[in-house]
Amino acid sequence: MDQLTASQALDFRDEVRRFVAGALPASIRAKMIAGRRLDAPDYRDWHRIVYERGWAAPNWPKSFGGCEWDGLQQHIFEEECSLAGAPLLLPFGLRMCGPVVMAFGNREQQQRFLPRILSGEDWWCQGYSEPGAGSDLASLRMRAERRGDHYVVNGQKTWTTLAQHADWIFCLVRTASEGRPQEGISFLLVDMRSRGVTVRPIVMLDGEHEINEVWMDDVVVPAANLVGEENKGWTYAKYLLNHERTGNAGLGFCRRWLADLKALARTQPGSDGRPLLEDQRFRDRIAQVEIDLLALERTNLRVLALEHARGAPGFEASLLKIKGTEIQQELTELLMQALGHDSLAWQPEALEDAGAQWHTGPVDGLGLTGRYLNFRKATIYAGSNEIQRNIIARQLLGL
């Protein structure tokens, strides 16, 4: 479709804003604003609501049930949802596995998996990283041995987000050992209810069980669940990672956190007793992160436009991943500093007490410490920022 005019964009923003205001359950919004734990039903309920509105897959083509929105519409939708306190739709099916199946899967796989991803009936998780194979993903060792009409899979994945709730996992597995490491990797879809799949929790710095180890011990997977060609999975993996990195900027959340930061700085006293916003050095840091956020917003729009034109994101997604995660970490650090001594206490179990507050000012400080601890990992996941700089240097500068 043609790019929206300014008037159409404003009308679309109003439409999204009205929808979220009327459809977002108050209980979910309250958890998001306060930084409290979202349960699996919260994610499923919001996905169902958005799916019933027809907006679950903004970047999917209409032929697969998506919206086929341009970059500006995607940006507006995600920003308005974040500003209103709505959770992001889980990306593992919609942004990662779905596009790979659309691009490289066969018609049977598309008909089988895509409708259930779109509706949220199937919850997916990502099986990429392994111990010793994170940023160096080509070193992965999970083995899939072909035996007739099925594969037998053995190995371990780690840092697997929300695997404890997942119905399916898309995995990179080693199917050959000859040649370059990248040449022996395949892309396999595995039912998490299969015999031999074990999920073990990893508790993070913030006390939350968000990530997991996933072990596979002689797991039988039908050969029909192989996406594309055997030993060509590295190509599909890179395609998926570009889609993942495009969604890592987190602009809507950052704008909301910036507003929280300014509200705190207007009331929280500095070392001299005056509001922090009157401290030149602290005010300069707020101004700098706001400038960076505005620049990232423009870059995000350009990248989304390129993705819409090409049908797939390029290396520019690495720019969003780097700067977006750096801004997220800067904002969470500044929020901690603004909250002062109130940020020191941290009891994850207090997240279950809807009435608890560590801070009684303009911002609920209950979740800020946990948010700070959680986002220490942001510059590492989806390919560390050091790896992203290598990608940019290689593909843009030819180094």
Kindly state the average pLDDT of the residues 206-210: 86
- Per-residue pLDDT, averaged over 2-18, amounts to 90
Residues 390, 235: Cα–Cα separation, whole Å: 18
Handedness of CA 321, 327, 330, 331 (dihedral sign): negative
Please confirm, yes or no, whether 326 is among the known catalytic residues: no
pLDDT (0 to 100) of residue 147? 97
pLDDT at 361 over 70: no
Catalytic annotation, pick one of 244, 307, 316, 330: 244
Domains of the chain, first to last: 6-89 (no CATH), 124-232 (2.40.110.10), 247-395 (1.20.140.10)
Q: Residue 313 pLDDT more than 70?
A: no
pLDDT in tens, 153-193: 999 999 999 999 999 999 999 999 988 888 999 999 999 99
Instruction: Write down the pTM of the prediction.
Output: 0.89
The closest alpha carbon to 216, from 322, 296, 144, 293, belongs to 144
Q: Is the dihedral of CA 186, 191, 196, 202 positive or negative?
A: positive
pLDDT digits (tens, 9 = 90+) for 97-117: 999 999 999 999 999 999 999
The pLDDT score that the predictor gives to residue 359 is 44
Residue in the block written with tokens 């090409």: 310
pLDDT for res 358: 44
d(CA 353, CA 121): 30
Residue 354 is predicted with a pLDDT of 47
Question: What angle is formed at CA 129 by the lines to CA 230 and CA 122, rounded to 5 degrees?
Answer: 75
